[in-house]
Amino acid sequence: MIESVASEVMIHVTPPLPPATIRFLPAVPEGFELSDSERLSDGLRRLSIEEFDRAIGGLLSGSDVDVAIHEARKSMKRLRAVLRLIRDEIGEERYRSENELLRNTARLIGPVRDAAVLVETVSTIRTRFGAHLRRTAFETLESNLIRRHSETRARLVDDRETLRRVIYALRSAKARYRAWPAETDPEETWRAKPVAHSFETLRGGLERTYGRGLEEMKVAHATPSGHNFHWWRKRVKYLRHQMELLRPMFPEVLDGYIAALDQLGELLGEEHDLSELTLIVAGRPEMCSDAAERTLITALAQHRRSELQTASMAIGRKVYAESPEHFADRMAAYWDTSFGVQFATQGS
């Protein structure tokens, strides 16, 4: 099977997209949400398969490597959000196995995206503080980061074995998700039980995702390090994807909540990018040989990070304004008046 995959890997080395184009690609594809006309098991299986198809199709399409990797990693994050949502239902062993596979698969192609983001981050600093900088500020650093990004992309494209591993892992996982039983299937013929059409299937996952985000926010507030803000950002992203899945329960309310999570995620994402830039400038001074420029870009990055941390805390307090238990209860009420009604007469 691996040999057949190898013949299909067609990613082209084309010039990278402008940084702003990469950053603002749609974060969530249209239709990444459940429908009140389908059972939970059917909806989750449908959405998961669509995400696998999106990731695999992009990597095999011959499109720009940056776009393909960006979209594939987005899809894997959405799939991990689904796993977290039904973690209690599928069991800890299965959850950990599938989550680890997706995490490790994303890491295989992550360096290309990470290198692209560093180029974008320097450009963002120049744009933001350009009125106070000379025209050629940070040109050497940016040039070195562009070269580093190009080399990273080329290594991945040349390394067909890594691409084969990624596609093989995604196809294998997709087959497992496709085989997941629905409630209407005869359960005795399956090794796994179907996902029940009940909010209790989701309660533990939602409460855990929200609760961990709340705790990570408190940790980041107490100790505002790049590491702590990064961990908070991860929880925010998972909650956002889960809310997008459940949006049809009460779109009039959840649209605003999703927008706030999206804004918070963007702030935390920029904070993380700046943190990574300061680390590479400090750890690899040859990337910016001018000591004065290294000091300046670090100072500007730290200044912007402080702004982002303050802004994210302001939004975060609103996003995480209730206890995990109350949050789950509120979502349960939305479910009961929408998704919980459709199949009530069938014993769900």
Please give the pLDDT value at position 6: 36
Q: For 22-48, what is the mean pLDDT?
A: 75
Over residues 171-193, the mean pLDDT reads 74
Nearest in space to 23 (alpha carbons), one of 103, 127, 100: 127
Where is pLDDT greater, at 70 or 133?
70
- pLDDT tens digits for 242-291? 999 999 999 999 999 999 999 999 999 999 999 999 999 999 999 999 99
Q: Is 64 helix (H, G, I), strand (E, B) or coil?
A: strand
Question: What would the pLDDT profile of 296-331 be if each residue is shown by its tens digit?
Answer: 999 999 999 999 999 999 999 999 999 999 999 999
* Average confidence (pLDDT) over 107-124: 95
In angstroms, the CA 212 to CA 206 distance is 10
Among 3-12, 49-58, 66-75, 213-222, the minimum mean pLDDT is found in 3-12
Task: Report whether pLDDT(211) > 70.
Answer: yes
327-to-9, 76, 209, 258, 319 alpha-carbon distances in Å: 44, 26, 11, 14, 10
| pLDDT bracket for residue 116 (50, 70, 90) | very high
pLDDT of residue 130: 82
Cβ atoms within 10 Å of 224's Cβ, excluding its own: 15
Q: Which DSSP string do the residues of 225-290 spell out, in sequence order?
A: -HHHHHHHHHHHHHHHHHHHHHGGG-HHHHHHHHHHHHHHHHHHHHHHHHHHHHHHHHH-GGGS--
Mean pLDDT across the chain: 87
Query: For 135, what's the count of Cα atoms within 13 Å in the CB-facing half-sphere?
Result: 0
Share of the chain above pLDDT 70, in %: 86
In the prediction, which pLDDT does 344 show?
52
Q: Say what the pLDDT of residue 25 is.
A: 36
- DSSP H or E segment with residue 169: helix 160-178
Q: How many CB atoms lie within 10 A of CB 237?
A: 24
Distance CA 249, CA 266 (A): 25
- In this prediction, residues 147-152 reach a mean pLDDT of 96
Task: Give the domains, in start order, of the chain with CATH numbers.
Answer: 29-185+192-339 (1.40.20.10)
Q: Name the packing angle between helices 92-129 and 251-283 (round to 10°).
A: 70
Ramachandran bin of 87, using left for φ above 0, alpha for ψ from -120 to 50, beta for the remaining angles: alpha
- pLDDT at site 191: 58
pLDDT computed for residue 183 by the predictor? 66
Q: Is residue 343 predicted with pLDDT exceeding 70? A: no
Cβ neighbours of residue 284 under 8 Å, at least 6 residues apart? none
| pLDDT exceeds 70 at position 184 | no
Q: Count CB neighbours of 281 within 10 A.
A: 22
Secondary element (H or E) of residue 312:
helix 291-319
